C-alpha cells in the first residue's frame, strides 16, 4: 500500500504582483480596501501600466498554503488551471520547485494565467485586485481519482464557490476524497464571498466539512452577527474543528465545546499581512497530517504566519521546518 501524501489542495492558481500604494491610490481605483476585488484582464493591464510591480511571487490562497506545507517539509498536490505563458511558467516552477505535485500541468489554451495585483500599504494592509484568468476554467473534468486520492487531508478554497463549474469540481473532489477517508478542510476565504454563498456554505459545512478556517470577520459573517462571542457560540454548534485567526490577538481553535487559545508569535515589524491566514492554515494542516495535537497545530500555524508577515509576499524566506 502506498504511503499517503499529506494534503491535496484545490484553488485559484495565480501569481501575486506586489505594488506599494497608499489608501488614496487604492480607493482611486475603485477597489474595496483590505479585501479581494475581482477585475478583468483589461483592468489588470491598466494597473500594471500605472504602477511599478515590485515583485512577482507565487500566490493564490490555497497555493500559498500548499507551498507553506512544503516549507515545513510536508508534501502534497495542488489542483489549479494555468496557461503555458510567462506567468504560468513562473508559477509552475515556483510550485513544483518546492516539491508539490501539479497534476493538471498547462491546461488553458487561450485564457491567461491568473494574477492578483496586491496593493500593500505602509501599515501592512493589503488590497487584492484579482484577475482569475485560467482559474475560472476549472471544472469536474479536471478532477481525476488518481490525482486526488491517497492524501490525508483535502483543502478547498471558498473563492471557487463563485464559479459554477468550479463548484462542481469541488463537489466531485469532496466525494472522491471522502470515499478515500480524507478529512475535508475549507477556507471561508473572504467575508464578501460568505455574503454571496452563506446558505450553501452552511449546507456544505454541515454535510461534508471537518475543518474550517476563517478570520474574525468571516466567522461573524457566517453567524450573521457582529459579536465575536456569538460567532464563537455558532462555531461551537457546528461540531467540527473551527479555526479562527484574530490578528495580533492570536487564534482560537474550537472543537465541540472546547476553545483553545493560541497566542500570536511576536514580530518586530509587520511588513505585509498578505498570506497570514494562508500560512497559518499551512502550519495547522501540516501538524494535523503529522498527528499533532490541536494546540500544537495552532502553534505551527502561529509560527508560519509570524514569519510571513515580517516581509513582502506569501512565500516563506526561511524553511518553516527550521522554526519548529
What is the rounded distance in angstroms from the CA atom of residue 306 to the CA atom of residue 124?
13
pLDDT one digit per residue (tens) for the chain, 324 residues: 578 999 999 999 999 999 999 999 999 999 999 988 999 999 999 999 999 999 898 889 999 999 999 999 999 999 999 999 999 999 999 999 989 999 999 998 899 999 999 999 988 888 999 999 999 999 999 999 999 999 999 999 999 999 999 999 999 999 999 999 999 999 998 888 999 999 999 999 999 999 999 999 999 999 999 999 999 999 999 999 999 999 899 999 999 889 999 999 999 988 888 789 999 999 999 999 999 999 999 999 999 999 999 988 888 999 999 999
Answer positive or negative: Cα dihedral of 133, 50, 27, 305: positive
Q: Parse the chain into domains and list their residue ranges.
A: 5-13+60-111+133-323
Q: Partners of 37 in the beta sheet?
A: 129
Q: The pTM is what?
A: 0.92
176 by DSSP, 3-state: which?
Answer: helix
Q: Partners of 106 in the beta sheet?
A: 82
What is the rounded distance in angstroms from the CA atom of residue 281 to the CA atom of residue 258?
19
Residue 31's contacts (CB-CB under 8 Å, 6 or more residues apart) are 37, 119, 127, 129
Report the CATH number of the 5-13+60-111+133-323 domain.
Answer: 3.40.1190.20
Nearest to 237 by CA among 215, 213, 263, 257: 257
Nearest to 289 by CA among 171, 189, 150, 85: 150
What kind and span of H or E run contains 212?
strand 211-215
Amino acid at each position: 500500500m502506498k504511503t499517503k501524501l499529506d494534503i491535496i489542495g484545490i484553488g485559484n492558481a495565480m501569481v501575486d504582483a506586489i505594488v506599494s500604494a497608499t489608501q488614496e491610490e487604492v480607493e482611486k481605483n475603485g477597489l474595496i480596501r483590505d479585501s479581494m476585488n475581482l477585475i478583468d484582464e483589461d483592468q489588470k493591464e491598466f494597473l500594471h501600466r500605472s504602477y511599478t510591480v515590485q515583485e512577482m511571487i507565487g500566490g493564490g490562497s490555497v497555493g500559498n498554503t500548499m507551498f507553506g506545507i512544503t516549507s515545513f517539509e510536508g508534501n502534497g498536490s495542488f489542483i489549479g488551471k494555468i496557461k503555458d505563458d510567462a506567468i504560468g511558467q513562473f508559477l509552475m516552477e515556483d510550485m513544483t520547485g518546492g516539491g508539490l505535485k501539479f497534476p493538471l500541468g498547462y491546461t488553458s489554451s487561450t485564457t491567461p494565467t491568473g494574477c492578483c495585483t496586491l496593493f500593500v500599504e505602509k501599515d501592512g494592509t493589503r488590497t487584492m485586485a484579482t484577475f482569475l484568468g485560467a482559474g475560472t476554467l476549472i471544472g469536474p473534468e479536471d478532477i481525476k481519482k488518481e490525482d486526488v486520492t491517497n492524501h490525508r487531508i483535502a483543502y478547498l478554497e471558498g473563492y471557487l464557490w463563485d464559479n459554477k463549474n468550479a463548484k462542481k469540481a469541488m463537489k466531485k473532489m469532496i466525494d472522491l476524497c471522502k470515499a478515500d477517508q480524507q478529512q475535508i478542510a475549507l477556507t471561508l476565504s473572504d467575508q464578501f464571498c460568505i455574503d454571496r454563498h452563506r446558505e450553501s456554505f452552511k449546507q456544505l459545512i454541515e454535510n461534508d466539512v471537518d475543518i474550517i478556517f476563517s478570520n474574525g470577520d468571516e466567522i461573524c459573517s457566517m453567524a450573521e452577527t457582529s459579536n465575536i462571542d456569538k460567532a464563537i457560540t455558532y462555531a461551537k454548534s457546528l461540531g467540527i474543528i473551527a479555526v479562527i485567526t484574530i490578528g495580533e490577538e492570536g487564534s482560537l481553535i474550537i472543537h465541540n465545546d472546547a476553545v483553545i487559545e493560541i497566542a500570536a508569535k511576536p514580530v518586530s515589524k509587520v511588513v505585509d499581512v498578505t498570506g497570514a491566514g494562508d500560512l497559518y492554515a499551512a502550519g495547522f494542516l501540516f501538524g494535523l497530517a503529522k498527528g499533532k495535537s490541536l494546540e500544537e497545530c495552532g502553534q505551527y500555524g502561529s509560527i508560519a504566519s509570524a514569519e510571513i508577515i515580517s516581509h513582502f509576499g506569501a512565500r516563506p524566506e526561511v524553511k518553516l521546518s527550521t522554526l519548529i
